[in-house]
Each structure stands twice: as C-alpha cells, then as structure tokens.
Structure 1
Amino acid sequence: MTRKAPDAQTLSLMLDNVKFDSNGLIAAIAQQHDTGEILMLAWMNHEALEETLQTGRVCYYSRSRQNLWRKGETSGQTQQLIEARLDCDGDAVLLLVDQTGVACHTGRKSCFYRSFTEDGLKEISKPEIDPGQLYARPHKH
C-alpha cells in the first residue's frame, strides 16, 4: 500500500485538531511499523508535522537548534512515514515509520536502550554503528 499525501484542505482540517503546547510543539513518538519497536521521542511544530504529512519523509523540530530537523539529513538514517496517528487528546503523535539504519544518535536502533532495574540503569542494547561515522559528513538525499 502506497501512502498518499492529503490535499491542502484536508491537511488543514486535520492540523486544526492538533493541540500544540504553549511552545507550539507536540510530542512525536516514532515506531518501526513492521516490528512495533519504539525508536524515539522527538518534537514537532506545525511546520514539521505539515511537511511530514505532505512529503512522507519525517521532519522534526529541534528544540536545541530552534529549527526543522529532517531525520537523516546529516546521518543518512532516514525515516519514511507509513502512517501518522493522533492520540485521543490531540496532544501527541504516533509515527509509524520505516527506519533506514539506526534512529538514535548514539548509534543504536532505538533511543530506549537503558532499562531501570533494582541495581540501577542497565544497558540493553549496544551501538550498531559508531556515532562518529553517522555524523562524519553530510549525506545528500
């Protein structure tokens, strides 16, 4: 099944249902569509969510850099949108994605690689790639 972008009017009506916080942001959870693995949590502003829904390439908002962050533009580790879902309160988005490579800047598939245990935090996955390799040079897409 190929995902189709909504027309402008439909997109506008959908975005009217999103409750961005006081900073104009909404939490976005990325989940690998075929395995169900939670990959990461990031933030989107109106422009990032709109671009993601239009293009199918996941775009976030970087709070530290204060600008759009197109997943994979420097690392090559992209996310293609399969489906986007809005939660019942309209204040969180679930992105079912097809992740190319790793999602975490630490070189792991998922950002959720530490588990709370009775003995403290336990690392439950190792890096699949050296983070230095991820950001050594910009990738063009």
Structure 2
Amino acid sequence: MMHGGFAMIIDQYWGKYFGDSADSQRLAQYLAGKNREVLTTSEIFQDFQLAQLSGNYTQASLDGAGWHFDSAFQFVIDLAVLVLESKKVGRFSIARIGGPEDRFMRIDAATDELLPITMALKHYALAPEDYLFSHGIDVDDWYELGNLCEEIRAQLEA
C-alpha cells in the first residue's frame, strides 16, 4: 500500500517481531484510547516514565496510565515503527496495528526522546542476548530482529 509516495512502513515491519505480542496489542489499545489525531513521544514517555529508564529497556517492564507492559523493549520497538511511519508517511491506521477502530493517528517525536529509542535499537542489534525479550525468540531470530532494528534506527536518524 502506498500513501504520499512512500511504501507503508507498517506493512514492511509490522508482523513477525513488531506488533505481534500481547504488549503490542496493549499499545494499540492505549493509543486508541487517547482519542486524538496527534500524540507526542513526550506524552507517551511521561505516561510510562520511560525517561526514568535512561534508555535501558533490556529487562524492564512498564506500568503507567492504567496499563502494564511485560517488556519495555517490545513497547519501544513497536513505538519506533509507529514513529517512523508517522515521520515517513504522516500517519498510521489504529485498526492496522490491531486497534478497535479505523482512524488515523500520528506520533510526533521530540529529538531528545528519539535518542533513547534509537540507542535501544542499536544496542539490541549489537547485543540481543542482553534482552529478556529475546528469551521468547529463537536464537537464530535474535540477529534477524537485530538487523531490522538497525534498519529502523537508520531511517529514524535520517
């Protein structure tokens, strides 16, 4: 699917590693519950105290805004795809990511909050064995996910 001349980022990445967990479903529900067209990473970081983790999402869970996420890293990699879709395409469909309604949303990322996200993607690409998240994934797939994280990181930084 094309929108504004760009292939949909979600169509490229959402599925096997991104957007395929219970945490991913909770993220979609959280975003749908915001009932706004534009959300900022600042608000998301505040809701889940992500700044307090200082970019270390290796073995952390998240609680905030009435939600619990088992893996902070799963939350962050899913968020990275949505931020990239927002950056490249301008919006994403809540229904496409598993939300209850077909409406569009955008997540605007502040530079200071994009940095810990891109650093986490880079760190995973270099050391997937450090992540609690990886224990549910075949070892062979750790490095495939690492390559995808590196692709997303490069596009976010472009």
Identify whether the pair has TM-score above 0.5, normalized to the shorter chain. Answer: no
The structure with the largest helix share of the pair is 2
TM-score range, shorter chain: under 0.3
The structure with the largest strand share of the pair is 1
Give the number of the structure whose alpha-carbon radius of gyration is greater: 1
**TM norm structure 2:** 0.26
Higher RCO structure (Cα 8 Å, ≥6 apart)? 2
